[in-house]
């Protein structure tokens, strides 16, 4: 951020608190400094101005503290005269606010100050440094205790309780201070009060509790709190100083050499708390806040999270009754889940059940399932989740409230900073400031940096429901907000998908609007695209589901299409099938034929080559679906899509033994790809032609297509395509007897696949290497094949699995262990029957027959006969005749 040109904003026209705070925000923008930079500049100048304090001050509706304004203006770079002007404007508003909020006649005259000569009396006689005489705190004085009652149904938090108790009793020469931070309803007060009661015996001189009202519109001033505490400690009202500094000094003097525990509940800021802190290690302080109070020096900080499922269930049992919960454990567990483990919500749910003994636990669970009314059901007496969250929400300025509402509409598990920039159409820097203000208010949670280096945030489920409710109440336009948010996600995802290595399909998209985010594109160039997808994967899937639910079919298929290469490279085949199936259904319902075709293309690819429990013949299914896809793209007049479909048709024909059709459709695919300027389609068509000719043992012809494909793959800059072409070139060179060049090509392919953790391509390359090693008599062949076998099973790659099993069978036979080869080969044949690639099935059957020869002649004949039948169907008469000779020898 850079400083704006021109003069800094002035406080002259700030006649209301709202305008004053708005002017402070303008001053920060003029300074060009982020919150963290302001905090650092203040520190260097000798001031303590935490970034969280600035965020809170600039995004609340109450007047900031005097010293906060002074330090903030100074940190912005203004001179002392300007600082004084801003402070004077703040003080004037403070006077106006006090006059307008006090009932007429309610102001009592201030207690008279002692004369100057009275202050000179000996303090040993009982005078304080502020000049007030205070009666001694004698041994007969009853130790004050203002703790609320302990929570009778307190449950869980054992680890936190132990840590708090240990810290309270271990001052190490300084006052033990603990800050318990967390969202509204997470149980901060309950934990603090519970621990205070447990520790009370260690503080025999008193336990002082006060609710600082930090989440409300008018938090308590330190002076008022000090006055209350001092009166509890035996100081008459007339003797209590009217200045905060003097009252704080007297408070610390009264606590000196005594063991007193302070519980400061619901603190709003460091400025509110600092004057209330004792100055001796004999006392201890427990502070709760919806802010982390990072500006306090040296406290133990506990960020309180929601309860784990087991502890939340225990809390529900204590409130609603253990027999009742145990009798309907499934429904009780569901209630806890719907409450998101939020203690306040669980407690209210339990209270509602306790008040309605005739209800089944399942009755309440059913009511809570309705997310539109869930917060309505989480109210019991004066307790309510909605009311608790509203306290935090109402303390924010309108811009921050609006961001909170709009982000709540996007149903993702977590999100990056740039989503906030998209939702409000603001800069990335400003979006970060608003998000940090929401974090400080404990309305969203910071999740830290993701694998791509982006800051991420998330909503608790109940907080999201509250945000959606407030959005409706505020009259926000959800369609416009979601359009911006999801459009930005699509824009970013497309850019990252373009540089992901993966299948060379045509990038086909629809007319869904993209929202361009200024300043983000340069940042994206510095991020590893696969790591970006790793970070965004769960959120992207949620966005796709939301787009489907809203019938945004163009957006849904665009996003899903962008994820296909990532799913493929990462081996996330189940996710790929789930996403494409849901989106295809949405497109079909909307009559979106292009989206339906794109989703079908991906589904055909993943379901053909990855089994995932399917038992039908994969290549026959590929033949049917590929020709249907070709018809769809042809009807749409989409040449690039038709090229992709024609390649699939060629593969299916090759597998089925129809080599003429395989060459014809691959040639058509090449022509369409060239006409559509689809280089990825040209690469795939050349590979399909190479495989079709390879199947007919035309190795020289097959090899002519591979250099063309390799050249185009390197121009395309897609490592996955390059690795695939290198792989097939290595196989062709092996068949031509060029073993050294074969090894180099295969090794180069394997290196690329390993770099991108592309398991599918890696395993196929390893299988080709294992065959090469077996041909050379290399002892490494077994280890290579075994690794391929393990990965194939792990990722449900049955095509690879069948080949790995056959290679291992061949290795056993080459080493003279035919009996040990048979189990490998039997399983290989069984899998090839479900795959339907005829030539590979016949080859495995031939190997099986060879293994059985000399062990079981009838089984050998059975295998040879089946292989011979397949070869005859494929038109390979020579091979069939050779098998006939083997069968005759076994008679």
Give the model confidence (pLDDT) of 777-834 as tens digits.
Answer: 999 999 999 999 999 999 889 999 999 999 999 999 999 999 999 999 999 999 999 9
Helix H, strand E, coil C: the string for 677-697 is: CCHHHHHHHHHHHHHHHHHCC
Average pLDDT over residues 189-204: 92
Longest dimension (CA), the chain: 131
What length is written for the chain?
Answer: 891
Place of tokens 């106006």: 96
Contact 636, 852 (CB under 8 A): no
Residues 6 or more apart whose Cβ sits within 8 Å of residue 779: none
Greatest mean pLDDT among 83-87, 708-712, 754-758: 708-712
pLDDT band of residue 109 (cuts 50, 70, 90) is very low
Contacts of 5 (CB under 8 A, 6+ apart): none
Taking phi first (over 0 means left), then psi (-120 to 50 degrees means alpha), and beta for anything else, what does residue 612 get? left
pTM of the model: 0.73
HSE-CB of 431 using CA atoms within 13 angstroms: 23
Nearest alpha carbon to residue 336 among 327, 345, 326: 345
Report the C-alpha gap between 610 and 606 in whole angstroms.
Answer: 6
Strands (E), 282-426: 284-289, 300-303, 379-380, 383-384, 415-416
Give the span between the Cα atoms of 290 and 309, in whole angstroms. Answer: 23
Segment 448-457 shows an average pLDDT of: 88
The residue assigned the tokens 């020709």 is: 627
Over 20-89, what HEC string results? HHHHHHHHHHHHCCCHHHHHHHHHHCCCCCCHHHHHHHHCCCCCCCHHHHHHHHHHCCCCHHHHHHHHHH
Q: How far is CA 449 from the centre of its chain?
A: 10
DSSP characters for 849-891? HHHHTTT-HHHHHHHHHHHHHHHHHTT-HHHHHHHHHHHHHH-
Strands 383-384 and 445-449: unpaired
Beta strands 379-380 and 207-211, pairing class: unpaired
Which range, 90-104, 175-189, 541-555, 706-720, is most confident?
Answer: 541-555
| Tens digits of residue pLDDT in 456-465 | 999 988 899 9
What are the structure tokens assigned to 800, written together? Answer: 């690879």
Average pLDDT, the chain: 87
Among candidate residues 415, 398, 468, the one with its CA nearest the CA of residue 25? 398
Classify residue 532 as exposed, middle or buried by CB count within 10 Å of its CB (0-12, 13-18, 19+).
Answer: buried
Residue 287 — φ and ψ, nearest 5°?
A: -120, 135
* pLDDT score of 632 more than 90: yes
The closest of 160, 440, 417 to 300, measured between CA atoms, is: 160
Instruction: Check residue 100 and give its pLDDT.
Output: 39
Confidence of residue 439 (pLDDT cuts 50, 70, 90): confident
Residues of the chain above pLDDT 70, percent: 93
* pLDDT of 123 higher than 60: no
The pLDDT assigned to 97 comes to 57
Spatial contact of 141 and 171, defined as CB atoms under 8 Å apart: no
Q: What is the pLDDT of residue 817?
A: 95
Per-residue burial over 721-734, b = 16 or more CB atoms within 10 Å of its CB, e = otherwise = bbbbbbbbbbbbbb
In this structure, how many other beta carbons lie within 10 angstroms of the beta carbon of residue 523?
A: 14
The yes-or-no verdict on residue 508 having pLDDT over 80 is: yes
According to DSSP, residue 296 is labeled S
Q: Does position 328 have pLDDT exceeding 80, yes or no?
A: yes
Predicted confidence (pLDDT) per residue in 635-687, tens digit: 999 999 999 999 999 999 999 999 999 999 999 999 999 999 999 999 999 99
Q: Which residues of 165-189 are buried (b: 16+ CB within 10 A; e: fewer)?
A: eebbeeeeeebbbbbbbbbbbbbbb
R_g of the chain computed on alpha carbons: 37
pLDDT at 205 over 80: yes
Note the pLDDT of residue 623.
94
> How much is the pLDDT for 135?
47
Share of the chain above pLDDT 90, in %: 54
Nearest residue to 95 (alpha-carbon basis) of 70, 67, 63, 71: 63
The answer to whether the beta carbons of residues 216 and 391 sit under 8 Å apart is yes
For 163, other C-beta atoms within 10 Å of its C-beta total 15
Residue 95 pLDDT level (bands cut at 50, 70, 90): low
C-alpha to C-alpha distance for 346 and 333, rounded to whole angstroms: 11
Q: CA-CA distances (angstroms) from residue 158 to 161, 341, 848?
A: 5, 16, 63
How does residue 577 score in pLDDT terms, banded at 50, 70 and 90? Answer: very high
Confidence of residue 688 (pLDDT cuts 50, 70, 90): very high
pLDDT (tens digit, 9 = 90+) per residue, 761-770?
999 999 999 9
Residue 125 predicted with pLDDT over 80:
no
DSSP secondary structure letters along 820-854: HHHHHHHHHHHHHHHH--HHHHHHHHHHHHHHHTT
Distance from the Cα of residue 70 to its chain's centroid:
39
> Would you say 233 and 137 are in contact if contact means Cβ atoms under 8 Å apart?
yes
- Residue 120, pLDDT > 50, answer no
The residue with tokens 């006409």 is: 675
pLDDT at 115 (0 to 100): 40
């Amino acid at each position: 951020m850079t400083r704006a040109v021109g003069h800094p904003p002035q406080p002259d026209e700030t006649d209301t608190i709202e305008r004053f705070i708005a002017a402070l925000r303008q001053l920060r923008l003029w300074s060009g400094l982020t919150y963290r930079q302001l905090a650092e500049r203040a520190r260097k100048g000798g001031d303590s101005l935490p970034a969280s304090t600035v965020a809170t001050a600039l995004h609340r509706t109450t007047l900031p503290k005097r010293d906060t304004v002074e330090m903030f203006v100074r940190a912005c770079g203004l001179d002392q005269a300007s600082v004084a002007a801003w402070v004077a404007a703040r003080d004037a508003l403070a006077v106006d606010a006090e006059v307008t909020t006090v009932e007429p006649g309610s102001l009592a005259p201030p207690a008279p100050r002692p004369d100057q000569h009275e202050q000179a009396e000996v303090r040993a006689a009982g005078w304080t440094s502020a000049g007030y005489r205070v009666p001694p705190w004698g041994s007969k004085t009853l130790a004050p205790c203002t703790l609320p009652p302990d929570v009778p149904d307190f449950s869980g938090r054992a680890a936190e309780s132990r840590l708090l108790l240990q810290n309270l009793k271990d001052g190490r020469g300084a006052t033990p201070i603990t800050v318990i931070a967390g969202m509204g309803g997470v149980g901060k007060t309950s934990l603090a009060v519970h621990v205070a009661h447990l520790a009370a015996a260690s503080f025999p001189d008193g336990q002082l509790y006060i609710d600082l009202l930090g989440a409300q519109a008018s938090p308590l001033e330190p002076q008022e709190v000090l006055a209350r505490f001092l009166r509890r400690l035996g100081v008459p009202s007339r003797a209590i100083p009217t200045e905060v500094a003097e009252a704080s000094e007297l408070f610390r003097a009264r606590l000196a050499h005594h063991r007193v525990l302070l519980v400061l509940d619901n603190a709003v800021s460091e400025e509110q708390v600092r004057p209330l802190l004792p100055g001796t290690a004999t006392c201890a302080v427990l502070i709760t806040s919806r802010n982390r109070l990072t500006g306090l020096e040296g406290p133990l900080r506990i960020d309180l999270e929601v309860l784990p499922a087991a502890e939340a269930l225990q809390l529900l049992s204590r409130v609603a009754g253990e027999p009742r919960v145990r009798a309907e454990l499934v429904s009780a567990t569901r209630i806890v889940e719907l409450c998101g483990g939020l203690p306040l919500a669980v407690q209210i749910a339990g209270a509602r059940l306790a008040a309605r003994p005739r209800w089944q636990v399942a009755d309440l669970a059913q009511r809570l399932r309705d997310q539109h009314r869930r917060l309505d059901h989480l109210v019991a007496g004066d307790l309510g989740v909605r009311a608790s969250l509203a306290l935090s929400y109402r303390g924010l300025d309108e811009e921050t409230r609006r961001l909170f509402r709009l982000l709540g509409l996007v149903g993702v598990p977590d999100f990056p900073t740039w989503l906030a920039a998209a939702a409000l159409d603001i800069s990335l820097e400003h979006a970060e400031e608003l998000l940090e203000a929401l974090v400080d208010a404990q309305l969203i949670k910071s999740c830290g940096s993701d694998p791509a280096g982006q800051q991420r945030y998330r909503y608790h489920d109940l907080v999201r429901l509250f945000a959606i409710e407030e959005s409706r109440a505020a009259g926000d336009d959800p369609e416009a907000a979601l359009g911006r948010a999801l459009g930005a996600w699509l824009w970013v995802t497309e850019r990252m998908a373009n540089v992901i290595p993966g299948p060379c399909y045509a990038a086909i998209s629809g007319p869904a609007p993209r929202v361009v985010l200024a300043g983000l594109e340069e940042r994206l160039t510095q991020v590893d695209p696969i790591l970006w997808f790793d970070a965004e994967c769960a959120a992207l899937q949620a966005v796709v589901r939301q787009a489907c639910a809203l019938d945004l079919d163009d957006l849904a298929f665009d996003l899903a299409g962008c994820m296909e290469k990532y799913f493929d490279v990462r081996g996330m085949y189940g996710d790929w099938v789930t996403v494409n199936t849901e989106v295809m259904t949405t497109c079909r319902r909307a009559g979106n034929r292009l989206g339906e075709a794109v989703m079908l293309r991906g589904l055909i690819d993943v379901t053909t080559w990855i089994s995932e429990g399917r038992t039908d013949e994969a290549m026959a299914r590929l033949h049917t679906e590929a020709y249907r896809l070709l018809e769809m793209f042809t009807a749409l007049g989409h040449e690039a899509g038709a090229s992709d479909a024609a390649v699939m048709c060629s593969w299916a024909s090759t597998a089925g033994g129809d080599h003429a059709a395989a060459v014809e459709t691959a040639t058509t695919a090449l022509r369409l790809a060239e006409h559509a300027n689809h280089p990825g389609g040209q690469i795939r068509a050349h590979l399909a032609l190479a495989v079709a000719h390879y199947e007919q043992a035309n190795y020289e012809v097959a090899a002519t297509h591979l250099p063309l494909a390799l050249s185009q793959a390197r121009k395309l800059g897609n490592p996955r395509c390059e690795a695939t072409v290198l792989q097939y070139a290595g196989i062709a060179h092996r068949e031509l007897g060029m073993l050294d060049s074969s090894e180099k090509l295969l090794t180069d392919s394997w290196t690329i696949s390993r770099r991108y953790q592309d398991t599918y391509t890696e395993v196929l390359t390893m299988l080709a290497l294992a065959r090469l090693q077996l041909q050379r008599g290399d002892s490494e062949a077994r280890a290579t094949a075994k690794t391929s076998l393990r990965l194939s099973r792990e990722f449900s790659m049955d095509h690879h699995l069948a080949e790995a099993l056959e290679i291992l069978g061949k290795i056993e036979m080459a080493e003279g262990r035919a009996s040990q080869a048979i189990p490998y080969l039997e399983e290989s044949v069984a899998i090839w029957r479900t795959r339907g690639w005829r030539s590979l099935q016949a080859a495995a059957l031939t190997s099986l027959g060879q293994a059985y020869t000399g062990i079981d002649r009838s089984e050998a004949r059975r295998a040879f006969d089946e292989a011979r039948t397949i070869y005859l169907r494929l038109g390979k008469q020579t091979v069939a005749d050779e098998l006939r000779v083997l069968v005759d020898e076994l008679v």
